[in-house]
Structure formats: C-alpha cells, structure tokens
Chains A and B, each alone.
Chain A
Amino acid sequence: MRARVLVRPKQGILDPQGVAVERALPALGFEGVSDVRIGRLVELEIDDPAQLEAISSSLLANPLVEDFEIELLEDAPSA
C-alpha cells in the first residue's frame, strides 16, 4: 500500500523556514503572500498501514512540535 504522511509545524510555533521563504518572495516580485509554513511530505510503501500511526508519532514527526496527517493512496502502478 502506498501512503503519504504530511508533517507540519504546530500552530503557534515559529517556523523560521517559512519566514525566510515569505521574505524572499517580494524580491521576486510576488506580493501579498503571508503566513508561509513549511512541513515535510513522506511517501512510502507499507505492508501494514495500521503501523503508520506509530511510525509517524515515533519517528516521522515529533508530536511535541509537529502535527501529522496520514493519507492512504492507491497501490503504486506497476512500472
């Protein structure tokens, strides 16, 4: 089973990466962008999707400072 785990900084926690990107945009001529938040996208193949919750909370995300969402995808198409 193909799955996707989206990890993002918790609300209220300063995200310096997001700030850096937000401040770079006007230099490229893009105005009106605010509240940029940067997370991580982890895509993986897993035999037992029931393990995803534990995998996410123990390694992929640090639940103290990050939230995560698990998304199950269709099986990867064969090459």
Chain B
Amino acid sequence: MKTGILRFPGSCDEVDAQLAAQLVGEAVLLWHGDRDLQDVDAVIVPGGFSYGDYLRAGAIARFSPVMESVIEFARDGGLVLGICNGFQVLCEAGLLPGALLPNANRRFTFRQVELEVVEADTAFTSACPAGELLSIPAKHGSGRYYADEATLDQLEESGQVVVRYRPDQNFNGSLREIAGVRNTAGNVFGLMPHPEHAVDALTGSTDGLRIFESMRAAVEGAHV
C-alpha cells in the first residue's frame, strides 16, 4: 500500500503520520500546492494548524489545490483518513458530515483517551478487536463534534459513528460522545484523537496501529 500524507503550511503531525503509515507500507508527503497525488492508494489529512487555523480550523485548507484532488479521489472511492485538523478539513470540505467546534472545557487539552469502536466492520477499523477500547492520545482546542439532531440520528442509524469517547472522557463536549465519523460510502473517515501517535510501545500504546493495519487490509483486499 502507498499512502500519501498531505502537508499544509501549519501541519505538524504529518511526519508522525508518515512514520505510522510506513509501518504498513510506503508513505510519501504531498505538498498542499500540488495536485498530483502520486498514485497513492490512500490519503491521510494530518493534524496540525493548517493555515494557522485562521477563520475556522480547516476552513482555508479545504480550498488548497491538493484538496481538489483529494475530493476527486474520495468521490472515486479512495480511502481518506482525516486526523484532528484533518478531520476538521474533511468536515469543512463537505466530505464528512458535521463540524468541530471549540472545546466545551475552554482549553486546549492533551490527554490519553479511550475510544469505543462502535463500528468494527469498516475499512478503518477491521483490525480492531471487537469490544476492546483503543487507547490513543487526543490534543486539540476545537474537537467538539457538532451536527443537528436529525443528522446525529441518521449517522447512528446508518453506522457512520465509528468511534466514541468513553463517556467520562468526553472532555471537549462532543455530541453523543462522537470522536470519529465516516461518510455514507465508508471510504472517508475522520477522528479527533491521534492514532499515528500510538504506534510504538515507547510512547505507551500501539492501539493506533490498528487503524493503519485496517487500511492496509482494505487496500490490499481491493487489489485481490
């Protein structure tokens, strides 16, 4: 599998995402001003503060040249993972439903969270053991997932809520404890916590690796 990780001015987690993706295949960085996705099998929109989070987190990055190609790639069924700021970008781009608002606790918060895998039968979670929580760090100031009630009901009914915070760990005030959602087609997934920071025992948890292993399985399964 070849993964492309976007790099915007203000990205800061793209190298960790690249290192994580390299554990399951090849991984290259894709500059925001280029339209060429270099024939990758999957795209990661990484964490950070693209364009300084000016206006709203993700609002400007959404209009960058590389995002035009990513939107087309996603519409053709390509796997796209958005992490933290990447999740915000995908919501702003309309590839995922909802919006990420400033944390209800009014703080930029960095902590390890435990995530319930609500949907284990997805291209991003198939390698997650059923019923186990994923221990992954979260670090953000605007991670409060918001969508209107009708949308939230529809997301739950259609299995688009992929991961939730353990209820006592929902520090940002996300509605219905939602930590990550996928699109209706299932090929685009965004979450606020950082699986790429949890792939080496040195940093305490390797649970994040499951997300990348799931993507590899989805891509290599599709090639058979």
A and B, one complex? yes
B interface, over-half SS: loop
Complex partner residue of B173 from A14, A17, A20, A59, CB under 8 angstroms: A14
Q: A36: CB under 8 A from chain B?
A: no
Which residues from A are CB-within-8-Å of B63?
A: 59
**Which residue of A has the minimal Cβ distance to B102?**
A16
Taken residue by residue from 5 to 18, chain A's Cβ proximity to chain B (1 for < 8 Å, 0 otherwise) reads as 00000000111110
Q: A57: CB under 8 A from chain B?
A: no
Q: Is the Cβ of B104 less than 8 Å from the Cβ of A16?
A: yes
Number of A-B contacts (CB under 8 A): 32
- Contacts A59-B59, A60-B55, A65-B146 given: A16-B99 contact, CB under 8 Å? no
Complex partner residue of B92 from A16, A60, A62, CB under 8 angstroms: A62
A-B contacts, 7 of them at CB < 8 A, read A14-B173, A16-B103, A59-B59, A59-B63, A62-B56, A64-B147, A65-B99
Interface positions of B (Cβ within 8 A of A): 55-56, 59, 63, 92, 98-99, 101-106, 144, 146-148, 173
Interface positions of A (Cβ within 8 A of B): 13-17, 19-20, 40, 59-60, 62, 64-65
